[in-house]
Structure 1
Amino acid sequence: MSPTEPIYIADETVRALIDEQFPELAGRELGRRYTLEDQFAMRIGDDYGAIFPRLPGRDEHYARVVDLITPHVDRWTFPSSHPIATGVPGHGFPYHWTLVQWISASTAGFVPLHAESARPLGEALREVHTPSPADAPLNPRTGLGLPELEDQFSSLLAFACDRGAPENRSIDADAARAIYEEGEAASQDVSFTWTHGRLEPRAILSDQGAFAGILLWHNFGAGDPAADLGYAANLLSRDMHPHFWAGYGDVSEATAARARAFQVFAALRHIQIDDPFLMRMAWERLMELGLVHEA
């Protein structure tokens, strides 16, 4: 097996890890799997779930997230399916994994958020984005600045250009790069905060379109809040953005420019992921930004 090929964990292994490391949950029914390209989640009874990474390179983030996130959750007023305990490697499974509180809802990847959800999503991010100490571990997604991501941006842009937009349209590579370079040139005028780092439709809970919470917290760490804001912008149609910003609050022009660049970066990343909803959403956001034209 290739070192980058996602590993498969049998249900029997999941059962053994849970029963051995969390005996209070032994025998509780295991629900269906929710599999992403880099991890999968499984419900345990009605109130808990387990999240297992499927790729190398992120073990330290799963190992540390409970310690990092626990001091924050009591002050959050929004629902959060966050890690509450750490599982360790065993039974042939090589990585740390996390036990989470389970919230019974769909995700915005299946039921997109309605307009009234934009403001509470903004309010939730404002609660997350509190100052992080200088020695806080970096978020692997938001702790990297736009200059450090430039090569990856170029690769993602080339992929999107080669793939082509729906309905025989094409992406305006020059205009997309201009937005990215504007954000790249903008000053880092705010200090790093605690950040989520994976604000995509599959990380946002949706109850028939109503914002129902946030999950997938394994990246939690210090980073540029503009990255979270840019990623979140792809969750919402353009007409919903004023409500989102009303919930989050004012940001500087420089932070807004960085957020736009991160939005384009995240949309291009979604296009590369083999998920029909993510790709459709990404192209819609790029169209709204005026970056997609008739071929």
Structure 2
Amino acid sequence: MTHTEIEITAELVRDLLRDQHPDLADHPVRLGARGWANQLWRLGDDLAVRLPWVGEIADELLLKEHTWVPALAPRLPLPVPVPQRLGEPSPRFPRPWIVTTWVPGEPADLAPVTRGADAADALAAFLTALHQPAPEGVDTDSQGRGGTLAGSSTWVAQQLASATELGLVPDPDAVRAVWEDAVAAPVWAGPALWLHGDLHPANVLTADGTLCGVVDFGALFAGDPACDLSAAWTLLPDGAADRFYAAYQPAPDAATLRRARGWAVIRALVGLHVGDAGVRGRPGGKATWGPPAAATLRRLIATAPPHPSDRPL
């Protein structure tokens, strides 16, 4: 994915609003954040404008949010950005864009969770509410997230080797053991459940040390809840995963817990590489993604059950 050649400015956002939603055009406009796929511009105190700035896939993700999030949001116990208006492609900006509600808080990669018990309960309540059977026709792939873990084994091996060469993984054998155990777990045989699909620290907001919002539903899809349940390892501090899994309903079985650890390995490897790119000043890099990714692997290794060959006779 490459960033758009169109420069997105406050003036452009105002012009787009004047053309298509003039009742909002007088609200103050200021930059909120430059995300992976979209730029976010604050619109007054309560709204935001999201404009895609990578390849066409970002358009699809934005339209997916506009279609489904308004129906899901009322049942979710944490605030989420709810689409309010749709902007059509035009000569000024030849891509769709949306106006959503603004969710206050700091991204967890900048302000990590410190109140583990409170955050575990909040995350469990959020995912319990979200993880309901999805209607037929909902995306069940989400750029490969809907497949089995085994289908990602080659990618994981490559990314783990690369991260190890960069000095980002001190114990690759232990990480590999976590992954292999997850791949060996039985696959999900239940209904396709609604999933956020991208619960990494930059997509979760915090305040006062606990969770206060969840953003970026572009990866929203239906499938195995283990994908989202990996957030116990990627978002929560040491020792909070057990409380999260005890609070989440219905209680996940052992196979789902094993697959969740595999998904956490995938998210951690992505975070390590994006973080390293940020440290090195490469395009698309975000240095703040590295530390939580490293902490995820450390937690997974520390809580891994002993390998059968390591158990005392």
- Work out whether the TM-score is over 0.5: yes
User: Is the deviation greater in 250-259 or in 185-194?
Assistant: 185-194
What RMSD in Å do the two structures reach over aligned CA positions?
2.1
Unaligned runs of 5+ in 1: none
Counterpart of 2:51 in structure 1 is 52
Counterpart of 1:99 in structure 2 is 99
User: Is the deviation greater in 81-90 or in 95-104?
Assistant: 81-90
Counterpart of 2:149 in structure 1 is 146
Q: Deviations over 1:73-92 (max 9, x none)?
A: 22223222233332222244
Please give the alpha-carbon distance, in whole angstroms, between the structure 2 residues aligned to 1:208 and 1:198. Answer: 23
Counterpart secondary structure, 1:289: helix
Letter in structure 1 aligned against 2:99: L
Number of residue equivalences: 285
Counterpart of 1:76 in structure 2 is 76
The alpha-carbon deviation at position 141 of structure 1 amounts to 5.8
Counterpart secondary structure, 2:90: coil
TM-score by length of 2: 0.83
Please give the alpha-carbon distance, in whole angstroms, between the structure 1 residues aligned to 2:152 and 2:98. Answer: 28
1:252 paired to 2:253: yes
User: Is the deviation greater in 251-260 or in 268-277?
Assistant: 268-277
Decide whether the 8 Å contact of 2:201 with 2:292 is kept in 1. Answer: no
Do the aligned partners of residues 98 and 164 (structure 1) sit closer, same or farther apart at CA in structure 2, a change above 3 Å counting? Answer: same
Decide whether the 8 Å contact of 1:88 with 1:96 is kept in 2. Answer: yes
1:281 paired to 2:306: no
Letter in structure 1 aligned against 2:2: T
User: Is the deviation greater in 91-100 or in 61-70?
Assistant: 91-100
User: Is the deviation greater in 148-157 or in 219-228?
Assistant: 148-157
Letter in structure 1 aligned against 2:69: I
Please give the alpha-carbon distance, in whole angstroms, between the structure 1 residues aligned to 2:243 and 2:109. Answer: 20
User: Is the deviation greater in 61-70 or in 263-272?
Assistant: 61-70
Counterpart of 1:137 in structure 2 is 139
Q: Deviations over 1:199-251 (max 9, x none)?
A: 11221121121321111112212132111111452111231112222331310
Q: Deviations over 1:135-161 (max 9, x none)?
A: 212333632332332333223212211
Do the aligned partners of residues 171 and 86 (structure 1) sit closer, same or farther apart at CA in structure 2, a change above 3 Å counting? Answer: farther
Counterpart of 1:87 in structure 2 is 87
Counterpart of 2:266 in structure 1 is 265
Unaligned runs of 5+ in 2: 279-285, 303-313
Letter in structure 2 aligned against 1:280: P
Decide whether the 8 Å contact of 2:232 with 2:241 is kept in 1. Answer: no
Counterpart secondary structure, 1:183: helix
Decide whether the 8 Å contact of 1:82 with 1:216 is kept in 2. Answer: no
Decide whether the 8 Å contact of 1:109 with 1:278 is kept in 2. Answer: yes
Do the aligned partners of residues 163 and 125 (structure 1) sit closer, same or farther apart at CA in structure 2, a change above 3 Å counting? Answer: same
1:61 paired to 2:38: no
